[in-house]
Structure 1
Amino acid sequence: MASYTPLDEIPKIHAELRETFRSGITKPIAWRRHQLHQLARLAQENADEIADCLYKDLGRPKQESIFADICTTIELSLLAASKLEEWTTHGEPPVQPWQQSWKPRVEKHPKGVGLIIAPWNFPVSTALQPVYGAIAAGCCAAIKPSELTPHSAAFLAKTIPKYLEPSAYKVILGAVPEITKALELKWDHIFYTGNGRVGRIVSAAAAKHLTPVTLELGGKSPVLVDSTADLDLTAKRVLWGKVVNAGQICVAPDYILAEKDVVPQLVNALKKHGQDFYPNGALTSDSFGKIVSDAHFKRLTELLQRTKGKVVFGGQSDEKTRGIEPTVVVVEEGDVLLEDEIFGPILPVLAVESVDAALHYLKDRDYPLVLYGFSNSDANKQKILDATTSGAVAFGDTIQHLSIHGAPFGGVGESGHGSQSLQYTFDAFSYMRPVVDIPFQDEQFFGARYPPYTEKSLEFFSALLKIPIPE
């Protein structure tokens, strides 16, 4: 396992990245494209090693690692490389006819040196996906992987310098002392993926330097199920969203609000599909992951001990392997499982009188990263859209909205701010710079602005005071 980065090395890393950025080598489009191709090549050529690291860190099935961490990185890096000219093209703002000669444009420039702080649940893709945005924008970056996934972190520290320009992209290994030291420094953008508690620490540190921050957080993403839904397919799709990475994903369905008349049938369908997914039990299945650490295992098993709900499926665990079965629990309002984000394979089901009752339940709660709805009623879907606030809304399936790479992915309120995915990630590491070139010959338009002011010049600038304003 790789050693943590010495604390006195972190300012040196920061200084070298800033010197590299100031040299200008990251700005040419050809250079950016090459680095993006290298990032895709890193994921492609090391797919087996990445999958092995994820298995050691998370017990992650190889298929999940291939589609969630490896292929996503390849696809987005290649797409970004193909879009560079489009993203970096200067915009032309609308102007008055007398301003046409100014050659006005809005240029997109790199912010500078970024700090990328990745979480443990998808430790490779969440570290590398912001990197493609930084590269595409022409930025340098330091990447801080999670210490809870040491094999993946060591892989990134070893491999990134072999593929990307080592003076422009560096890895910082460590835990709280190392990231605390990094946050003392002035970065040009910080991209943090994780939980709200640490997000507040990152924001406070960034505020000291007025550093802009992208916060990709999480929260309790609810699932609304009405009586018009296809309950069998709903159960299958919701349960799949809950078992990917053993529920350790920010867009996992956290809990279900179902109209009470359909709860028995929905619960039976969840049980059926759970047995179909894992006919010999999830704890020994090669298709189901493990909990990342002893602390998180203890947190989840204590939730199961404290709930007053009825466990209708699963519930078994194995401390030695940190395995917890997919577990469906029928609960009453106020249950412990409805308090904080679960971030594990436990799925509470709460019966509500109606869709309106479900929306009332959500009204005073934190805005989720995504809200899932299962209904065949267009009226109910519109009602959900009109009455809620969330980072995203997905009807009819879970997690799959992430595959629409041209749409922004991000939260609102407690679930974060800022967006990512393709151009949105590029935009996060860029700033807009208006440029004008006003000819000396246009002096004829500016006579009224100069002192001494006169009644005539005042009348010229007061024209808008006399225009009628519509009621």
Structure 2
Amino acid sequence: MTTLTYTSIEDIEKFHETARRAFDSGKTQSIEFRKDQIAQIGWLLRDNEDRWREALRADLGRHPQENDLLEFVSIYTEVNMAYKEIEKWTKAHSIGFSVNWFPMHPKYKAEPKGVALIIAPFNFPLFLLLGPLTSAIAAGNAAVLKPSEQTPATSQLLAELLPKYLDNELYHVVNGGVPETTKVLELKWDHSMYTGNGRVGRIVAAAAAKHLTPLTLELGGKNPAVVDPKVDVKMAARRLLWGRFSNAGQICLCPEYVLVPAEFQDTLVEAFTEAYQRFYPEGPEKSDSFSRIVTTAHAARIKRMLDGTKGKIVLGGQADVDNRYVAPTVVRDVPVDDVLMGEEIFGPVLPIVPVKDVDEAIAVIRAKDHPLAVYVFSTDKKFQDKVFKSTKSGAAVANETVISAGVPGLPVGGVGPSGYGYYSGKQCFEQFSHYRVSLDNPGWVDTVAFGFRFPPYKPDYKKHIGSLTGALPPRPGQKSAMKVVKRWGLWVVFALVGASSALLMKSGRFAQLKAPAQA
């Protein structure tokens, strides 16, 4: 087990001050500098892939291919997107043409907020740091990273390698536990981003509020999956188990429970059993394709939940706390008030909750906090729409789980208790940016257009003020009438044009007009 070297409290303050001075020096204003740093994040990963795989294996027991799919691909995607799009993201944008305002050349432009704090959890210790860091750099910020102390091998390697690839003044790693995190939160940041659970999220939000620091939170939640009996059940079972058991269920986008009509539960369990045996032909405990729980404390927590469930365990159920192993587990006949339906499990346990119909499934979802994702397995678009339109979540995904976070260009974020803000792509760049507006108003405008704003005010100024807004939309109920008027207006114009043409033809003037064009 790797021993993690904690950052001293004094160094935390020094990192903060150094990053501030470096940002104030203006070196991040250069787009080329930002692109170089973004590229270096890619090479920080690529040059050391085997070392990262070893560290992630030690911390999470992950198979190398799972690391590649869930961590590396996501980071490389973020790096490539930011590198290619940064000029477009950072250029000044003009607003639409307006007679009143065009002389002032109104524009807005994304500018960096300053020094950012990024706190990541243990479940994706690379992607949830280096992904947001890529966006922070693209936006022109300095940044201090706080990895999880629960992944010591990965966090230690990050502290070793990051200074070798990125600017040592602008970007820093702080390792440590509660005292170090507390110190970090006491400092003033220009933007903070935290990914983790709601309990710590509230602590981070309270600390940010003291400095009025803008904040991005990604907090996960109880993500439901609603299964339509008319679906391809084998496909649904395969994708649900993959989504629940990848990274040993330690994914914020994992399906947390399945809602299925009671009469279809047996069929779904049979499909789960078949998929389970295909995933782990020699048993999950012997499989190198199944990860481990991050700590013994988390393993013990999940075991207590399994011990307390009123449902029936039909697959898995075994737990070896000392070895951080909890078997991939399916539990059927789980009541809505069960221990497995309370807090986020964040482990490889999939409860099946039988319901009467889709309406009851929707009621169960709506009785809980808004999740990070709602999953629906159905080929019936009306069924999908009914669930999605009746619920609220960060993502609404049909016939798939988890992978929406890896689609380039799609933002990832929650709503309400599952978080706010986004941590991927252009939307993450915008989290770390401030849109600064600009005007340049020439003196002659006061004479031609805007002199009415100066005292002394006169009665005829009122018409000028009204011209700034234009007419209001029609009252409700008058839209159709307005359309009819516009339509008749067009016909009148066409009629006048037609009549004029006829008169010209009749008088011979049309031919006279046309003759020079033929010469």
Does the TM-score normalized on the shorter chain lie above 0.5? Answer: yes
Match of 2:452 among 448, 452, 457: 448
How many Å apart are 1:79 and its aligned residue? 1.7
Report the CA distance shift for 1:454/1:414 in structure 2 as closer, same or farther (over 3 A): same
Matched, 1:300 2:302: yes
Corresponding residue number in structure 2 for 1:344: 347
Match of 1:353 in 2: 356
- Return the alpha-carbon distance in structure 1 between the equivalents of residues 234 and 472 of structure 2: 60
CA distance in 2, matches of 1:348, 1:203: 31
Does the aligned pair in 2 maintain the 1:69–1:125 contact within 8 Å?
A: yes
Conserved in 2, the CA contact under 8 Å of 1:223 and 1:253?
A: yes
Which residue in 2 is equivalent to 1:422? 425
5+ residue gaps, structure 2: 476-519
| Structure 2 counterparts to residues 66-77 of structure 1, below 5 A | 66-77=68-79
Question: Sequence identity, in percent?
Answer: 43
1:372 counterpart (363, 369, 375): 375
Q: Following the alignment from structure 2 to structure 1, what is the Cα–Cα distance between the partners of residues 464 and 57?
A: 72
1:27 deviation in Å? 1.4
Q: Does 2:150 match 1:171?
A: no
Q: How does 1:29-108 map to 2 (within 5 A)?
A: 29-108=31-110
Q: Give deviations 1:108-149, integer Å, cap 9, x for gaps.
A: 100000000010011111111110001100000000000001
1:435 paired residue number:
438
**Separation of aligned partners in 2, 1:122 and 1:468:** 51
For residues 432 and 387 of structure 2, what CA distance do their matches in structure 1 show? 33
1:342-374 CA-to-partner distances (Å, cap 9, x unmatched) read 100011001111111101111221000001100
Report if aligned partners of 2:296, 2:322 keep a CA contact under 8 Å in 1: no
Report the Cα distance in structure 2 between the residues aligned to 1:403 and 1:76, rounded to whole angstroms: 9
Q: Which has the larger radius of gyration?
A: 2
Give the distance between the partners of 2:465 and 2:30, measured in 1 at CA: 44
Work out which of the residue numbers 389, 401, 404 in structure 1 matches 2:404: 401
> Matched residue of 2:258: which SS?
strand
Aligned runs of 1:148-187 on 2, under 5 Å? 148-187=150-189
Name the SS for the 1:368 alignment partner.
coil
Structure-1-length-normalised TM-score: 0.97
Secondary structure at the residue paired with 1:26? helix
Cα displacement (A) at 1:9: 1.7
Check conservation: 1:283, 1:318, Cα contact below 8 A. no
How many angstroms does 1:463 deviate by?
A: 6.3
C-alpha separation in 2, matches of 1:109 and 1:71: 28
Deviations 1:356-413, CA, capped at 9 Å, x for gaps:
1101111221000001100121110110121010000110011121221201110001
Q: Where does residue 290 of structure 1 map in the other structure?
A: 292
Q: Quick check: 458-467 or 185-194, which moved more?
A: 458-467
Question: In 2, Cα distance between the equivalents of 1:230 and 1:469?
Answer: 48
TM-score, normalising length: structure 2: 0.89
The Cα offsets for residues 65-117 of structure 1, whole Å up to 9 and x where unpaired, read as: 11111232122112210111111121111242242221211111000000000
Relative distance call for 1:436 and 1:334 in structure 2 (3 A) is same
Q: Is 1:461 paired with 2:465?
A: yes
Instruction: Give the structure 2 partner of residue 137 of structure 1.
Output: 139
Distance in 1 (CA, whole Å) between partners of 2:398 and 2:460 is 62
1:269 to 266, 271, 275: 271
- Which AA in structure 2 matches 1:450? F
Q: Which amino acid aligns with 2:425?
A: L
Deviation at residue 309 of structure 1 after TM alignment: 0.7
Asked whether 1:11 is paired with 2:33, we answer: no
Instruction: Work out which of the residue numbers 311, 323, 326 in structure 1 matches 2:325.
Output: 323
Partner in structure 2 of residue 382 of structure 1? 385
Moved more, 446-455 or 38-47: 446-455
* 8 Å Cα contact 2:374-2:388 kept in structure 1: no
Query: Structure 1: which 5+ runs fail to align?
Result: none
Q: Is the 8 A contact 2:113 2:434 kept in 1?
A: yes
1:160-205 CA distances to partner (integer Å, 9 max, x unpaired)? Answer: 0001111111000101111111111110000100000010000000
| Contact 1:283-1:317 within 8 A present in 2 as well | no
Answer whether contact 2:120 2:194 (CA < 8 A) is retained.
yes
Contact 1:118 1:144 survives alignment (8 Å): yes
Which one of 178, 190, 193 corresponds to residue 192 of structure 2?
Answer: 190
- Asked whether the equivalents of residues 218 and 411 of structure 1 are also in contact (C-alpha less than 8 Å), the reply is yes
Write out per-residue CA displacement over residues 259-312 of structure 1, whole angstroms, 9 at most, x where no aligned residue.
112110101111111111111111121100001111101100001110111001
In 2, Cα distance between the equivalents of 1:61 and 1:297?
Answer: 19
1:220–1:459 CA distance, 2 compared to 1 (3 A): same
What is the rounded CA distance, in whole Å, between the counterparts of 2:460 and 2:353 in structure 1? 72
Letter in 2 for 1:7: I
Q: CA RMSD of the aligned region, Å?
A: 1.4
Letter of the 1:327 partner, please give it.
Answer: T
**Take 1:354 and 1:409, find their aligned partners in 2: how far apart are those partners?**
30
Aligned to 2:201: 199
- Conservation of the 8 A alpha-carbon contact between 2:256 and 2:344: yes
Question: Partner letter of residue 101 of structure 2?
Answer: Q
Question: CA contact under 8 A between 1:227 and 1:261: conserved in structure 2?
Answer: no
Residue by residue, what CA displacement relative to the aligned partner does 1:401-427 show, whole Å, maximum 9, x if unpaired?
122120111000110000121111111
CA distance in structure 1 between the aligned counterparts of 2:161 and 2:197, rounded to whole angstroms: 27
Q: Who is 2:488 aligned against?
A: none
The answer to whether the Cα contact below 8 Å between 2:59 and 2:153 also exists between their aligned partners in 1 is yes
Q: 2:459 is matched by which residue type in structure 1?
A: E
Quote the Cα distance in structure 2 between the aligned partners of 1:431 and 1:141. 16
Amino acid at match of 2:391: T
SS of aligned partner of 1:376: coil
The 8 Å contact of residues 111 and 434 in structure 2, kept in 1 or not, is answered as yes
3-state DSSP of counterpart to 1:183 = helix
- SS where residue 27 of structure 2 aligns? coil
Contact 2:218–2:419 (8 Å) recurs in 1: yes
